[in-house]
């Protein structure tokens, strides 16, 4: 990342004065000081940018961002990453007819790789890393993205995230966009799926037949990280219907 490159999230601006009640200045300041503590550089970084409106080239902003992979939650997660880029015990054999399609156990391992078990597999850890601000400028994040493109976003494979439930589609779109792959056609296809799967009431449901819009946040969170200039007319219409 060069000095000229915008840092993640620095195009968003919030006024701290608008977020706080006029009579709560003391509490507000205490909270901000707590968020600015250096033990979690990601929190400090987003506080500087999103709450205090600092620019991406601000020295404190750049310093906080540079420490994200070296201290705090991101560091803890990355220390458990395997050399191949995943967090599972090992990488499954390639999806050939012999080692997968004719062996149900291998097929299930390949099917669940990166996604399951829930909340501890690579997918979930990568989501957290993307929310903490890491991008593919870090080679370890590049490895994660390569695994998703190889195992879960192959257009010629009948088993891929495009055919998964919409919550996984939204999470993956958000993650890869934050990692820096917004221009990749496979990521754009994830957004196409979100538009196509939107319900008549404007919401989304992870599983067909469910009523309500409880799962709408996955799609809207993906839209939220998509730069405005990258949103198509269909996506803008989808956002309007979803909110």
The per-residue pLDDT for range 201-228, each reduced to its tens digit, is 899 988 876 666 568 999 999 999 999 9
Say yes or no: 157 and 238 in one domain: yes
The pTM of this model reads 0.85
Query: Mean pLDDT for the chain?
Result: 87
Say yes or no: 55 and 77 in one domain: no
Answer for the pair 3, 65: CB distance below 8 angstroms, yes or no.
no
Q: What total number of domains does the chain contain?
A: 3
Residue 137 inside a domain? The answer is no
pLDDT score, position 217: 92
- Domain final residue pick, 71, 106, 122: 71
Residue 142 inside a domain? The answer is no
Give the whole-angstrom CA distance, residue 193 versus residue 189: 6
- Domain final residue pick, 22, 41, 71: 71
Say yes or no: 95 and 178 in one domain: no
The shares of helix, strand and coil residues in the chain, as percent rounded to the nearest 5, are 55, 0, 45
Confidence of residue 16 (pLDDT cuts 50, 70, 90): very low
Residue 87 inside a domain? The answer is yes
Say yes or no: 55 and 1 in one domain: yes
Examine the pLDDT at 94 and tell me if it is beyond 70: no
pLDDT score, position 13: 44
Say yes or no: 7 and 19 in one domain: yes
Say yes or no: 118 and 199 in one domain: no
Say yes or no: 125 and 204 in one domain: no
Say yes or no: 49 and 84 in one domain: no
Cβ density class 196-235: b for 16+ within 10 Å, e for less: ebbbeeebbbeeeeeeebebbebbbebbebbeeeeeeeeb
Residue 176 inside a domain? The answer is yes
Answer for the pair 148, 172: CB distance below 8 angstroms, yes or no.
yes
pLDDT score, position 20: 46
238 exposed, middle or buried (CB, 10 Å; 0-12, 13-18, 19+)?
Answer: buried
Domain with 79 in it: 73-132
Residue 140 inside a domain? The answer is no
pLDDT score, position 198: 93
């Amino acid at each position: 990342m060069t000095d000229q490159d915008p840092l993640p999230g620095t195009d968003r601006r919030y006024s701290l004065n608008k977020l706080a009640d006029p009579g709560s200045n003391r509490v507000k300041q205490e909270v901000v000081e707590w968020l600015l503590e250096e033990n979690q550089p990601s929190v400090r970084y987003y506080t500087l940018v999103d709450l205090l409106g600092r620019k991406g080239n601000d020295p404190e902003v750049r310093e906080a961002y540079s420490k994200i992979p070296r201290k705090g939650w991101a560091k803890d997660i990355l220390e458990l990453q395997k050399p191949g880029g995943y967090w599972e015990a090992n990488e499954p054999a390639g999806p050939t007819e012999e080692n997968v399609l004719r062996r149900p156990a291998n097929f299930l391992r390949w099917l669940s790789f990166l996604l399951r078990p829930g909340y501890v597999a690579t997918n979930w850890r990568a989501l957290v890393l993307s929310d903490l601000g890491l991008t593919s400028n870090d080679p370890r994040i590049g490895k994660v993205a390569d695994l998703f493109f190889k195992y879960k976003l192959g257009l010629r494979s009948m088993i891929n995230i495009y055919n998964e439930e919409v919550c996984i589609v939204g999470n993956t779109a958000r993650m890869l966009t934050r990692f820096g792959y917004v221009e990749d056609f496979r990521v754009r296809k994830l957004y196409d799926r979100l538009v196509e799967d939107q319900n008549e009431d404007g919401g989304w449901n992870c599983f067909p037949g469910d009523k309500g819009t409880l799962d709408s946040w996955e799609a809207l969170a993906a839209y939220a990280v998509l730069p405005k200039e990258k949103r198509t007319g269909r996506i803008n219409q989808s956002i309007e219907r979803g909110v």
